[in-house]
C-alpha cells in the first residue's frame, strides 16, 4: 500500500511540473520564448505604412510678363473759355462739334458805350499831353516848379492808362479759342448776357488722346515713363501708345496710382470716356505653370506649394502668384526644377516623410 501511494504522488508531481512549464512559456519566462510575428516582420511592411502622395516635376520657363488693368480714354486737354468783360453776346461764330484753331472767334460781345468811352479817353490823353509839354517848357525857363511838372506827368500817365484799359476791354469783347481743338460745349448763345468769368464755350484737344488707368501700389514700380502700352477698347479697337505720366502720389481711397499713356488720334476717330483694358508689357521672367488647386496658405498667411525634399520629406515653399490662365497658375519663387506634390498635399505636414508616386508631366504644366 505504501509503495502505491508513493507512485501516485510521483505521478501527480510529474503532471504538475508539465503544466508549470507551459505557464512559464505563456508568461515569457521560458529560456527560449517563441519569436513574435510582429518582431520578425520585414522592414518593407513599415515602409508601406508611409503616406502615399503623387509628385510631378515642374520646370521653369520664361514667361512674358504683363500688367493688365482697367481704364478709359480721356482728353489730353479741355479748356473752358470764359468772358473777361461783361456784355450781350451779339455773335456766336461756332457750333458744338466744330473744329477750331487757336485764335478763332467763338463769341463776340456788344460794344455798348465802349467806343464813346474810348473817344473820351483819347481826348483826355491829348489834353494831358499838351499840359505836360507846356509845363515842361515853363520848367526849363524856371517859370514852373518841379512839382507842377510832376503833377502834369502823373495826369498824362493816367490818361494813357485809361486809353489802354478801354482798348483792352474792347479787345475782350472778342472771345477766341486759346488752342486748336473741337468745341464740345457752347454756353454763349446769341442774346445771352455774360459776366466776367462766365463760360462762352469749352474747347477740347482730341489729338493726341490719353488712355488712363489706376495701377496698384504693388505694380506701380514696374512701370516706366516712355514704355509701351496697349489698350483694347470695348468698341473692338486696339490702340498703342507710350506712358507719359506716372502719379507721384496715390489715391488715398483706393491706394492706386494714376498712369497716363498718350496715343495718336488722327481724324478724331477715337472718343473720350471709352472703357478700355490696358496692358503694360514687362520684361520676361522665369516662372512655373502649375495647377491652381495645389496652391494653399500656411499658418502665416503665405501662399505656398508643398514640394518633395531630400529623403522624401515634405517642404512647403512660398510662391508669388503672377497670373492665372485657363492652363493653370503662373508662380515664381521656386527653383528651376521643382518636385511638387499634386495629390495628397492637404494631408501631409512639413518635415513628414512620404512615399512619392511619380507622375509624368502633362500639357497642363507646359507653357502655352
Q: What are phi and psi of 153, to 5 degrees?
A: -65, -40
Cell numbers that stand for 265 in this block: 488720334
pLDDT per position as a tens digit, 200-234: 999 999 999 999 999 999 899 999 999 999 999 99
* Domain boundaries 86-199, corresponding CATH code: 1.10.287.470
Give me the percent of the chain exceeding a pLDDT of 70: 85
| C-alpha 76: how far from chain center | 20
pLDDT per position as a tens digit, 248-271: 999 999 999 999 999 999 888 899
List, as one string, the DSSP characters of 53-74.
EEEEEEE-EEE--EEEEEEEEE
Domain boundaries along the sequence of the chain:
52-61+285-365, 68-75+206-281, 86-199
What is 68-75+206-281's CATH superfamily? Efflux pump adaptor protein, beta barrel domain (2.40.30.170)
Count of residues in the chain: 368
| CA pair distance 295, 319, nearest whole angstrom | 9
What value does the mean pLDDT take over residues 59-73?
90
What CATH class does 52-61+285-365 carry?
mainly beta
pLDDT per position as a tens digit, 118-171: 899 899 989 888 888 888 888 787 777 778 778 888 988 998 999 999 899 899
Amino acid at each position: 500500500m505504501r509503495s502505491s501511494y508513493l507512485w501516485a504522488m510521483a505521478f501527480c508531481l510529474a503532471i504538475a511540473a508539465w503544466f508549470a512549464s507551459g505557464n512559464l512559456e505563456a508568461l515569457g519566462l521560458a529560456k527560449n520564448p517563441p519569436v513574435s510575428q510582429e518582431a520578425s516582420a520585414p522592414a518593407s511592411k513599415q515602409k508601406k505604412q508611409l503616406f502615399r502622395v503623387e509628385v510631378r516635376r515642374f520646370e521653369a520657363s520664361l514667361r512674358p510678363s504683363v500688367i493688365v488693368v482697367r481704364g478709359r480714354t480721356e482728353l489730353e486737354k479741355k479748356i473752358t473759355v470764359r468772358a473777361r468783360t461783361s456784355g450781350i453776346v451779339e455773335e456766336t461764330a461756332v457750333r458744338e462739334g466744330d473744329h477750331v484753331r487757336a485764335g478763332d472767334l467763338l463769341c463776340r460781345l456788344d460794344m455798348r458805350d465802349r467806343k464813346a468811352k474810348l473817344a473820351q479817353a483819347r481826348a483826355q490823353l491829348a489834353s494831358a499831353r499838351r499840359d505836360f509839354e507846356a509845363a515842361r517848357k515853363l520848367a526849363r525857363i524856371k517859370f514852373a516848379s518841379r512839382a507842377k511838372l510832376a503833377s502834369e506827368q502823373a495826369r498824362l500817365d493816367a490818361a494813357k492808362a485809361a486809353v489802354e484799359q478801354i482798348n483792352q476791354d474792347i479787345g475782350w469783347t472778342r472771345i477766341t479759342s486759346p488752342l486748336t481743338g473741337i468745341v464740345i460745349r457752347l454756353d454763349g448763345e446769341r442774346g445771352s448776357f455774360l459776366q466776367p468769368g462766365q463760360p462762352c464755350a469749352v474747347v477740347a484737344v482730341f489729338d493726341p488722346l490719353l488712355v488712363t488707368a489706376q495701377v496698384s501700389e504693388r505694380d506701380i514700380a514696374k512701370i516706366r515713363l516712355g514704355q509701351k502700352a496697349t489698350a483694347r477698347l470695348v468698341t473692338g479697337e486696339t490702340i498703342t501708345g507710350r506712358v507719359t505720366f506716372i502719379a507721384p502720389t496715390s489715391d488715398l481711397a483706393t491706394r492706386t496710382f494714376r498712369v497716363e499713356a498718350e496715343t495718336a488720334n488722327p481724324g478724331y476717330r477715337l472718343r473720350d470716356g471709352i472703357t478700355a483694358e490696358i496692358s503694360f508689357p514687362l520684361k520676361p521672367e522665369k516662372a512655373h505653370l502649375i495647377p491652381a488647386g495645389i496652391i494653399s496658405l500656411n499658418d502665416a498667411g503665405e501662399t505656398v506649394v508643398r514640394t518633395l525634399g531630400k529623403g522624401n520629406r515634405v517642404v512647403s515653399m512660398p510662391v508669388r502668384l503672377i497670373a492665372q490662365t485657363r492652363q493653370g497658375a503662373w508662380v515664381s519663387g521656386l527653383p528651376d526644377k521643382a518636385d511638387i506634390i499634386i495629390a495628397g498635399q492637404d494631408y501631409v505636414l512639413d518635415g513628414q516623410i512620404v512615399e512619392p508616386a511619380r507622375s509624368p508631366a502633362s500639357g497642363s504644366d507646359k507653357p502655352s
